[in-house]
Amino acid sequence: MKEFEVKLRLASIPDLSRYEFLGEAEEEDVYFQHPCRDFSKTDEALRIRIRKSSREEILITYKGPREPGRVKIREEIEFPIPSREEAEKILIKLGFKPVARIKKRRRAYRVGNAYVTIDEVEDLGLFMEIEASSEEEVINTRRSLGVEAEEEKRTYLELFLLHHGHTLRDVDEEVDESY
């Protein structure tokens, strides 16, 4: 499935009370580096996400390279898995290396046909993501929200690694075992 989204860096939490509140969750994402393919060159990502709200959900997600466009467009394949620990064991046995653990508090809203989240990301700050089924819908939703904020083109993984003095290119040589 194609993902169409824009990420905005926020100074404060905007008032979204007039929109449908979908819920709040704590999310923890563990990102993995491929043993033979440099994800920094192919612009791909593989992660396991634990989402805790009223129940716990564990997902594995592949994100393909970003495509040209006015918003971030990339293939996303995601599905639930029964056990984070077992999935991590399999990936590590296949040579994948865990490179980052990113934690965030996420509040989700329905704005028209778009999915809007407010993310408080540990060590990185406050963000809004707007995701919809088309580039035009993302742009129109952003306009209708009227939020004045700087667009952030980098992924949370790129921001996290930069914050910790790494790039995607050097994670193979120097993996922080505490990820």
Which are the catalytic amino acids? Answer: 31
Taking Cα atoms as reference points, which of 154, 161, 112 lies closest to residue 137? 112
Amino acid at 142: R
Element (H, E) at 89: helix 84-93
67 secondary structure, DSSP code = B
Q: Is the dihedral of CA 84, 72, 22, 12 positive or negative?
A: positive
Q: How far is CA 30 from CA 109, 111, 124, 152, 177, in A?
A: 24, 29, 16, 21, 12
Contact criterion met (CB below 8 Å) for 97 and 172: yes
What is the identity of the amino acid at 159?
Answer: L
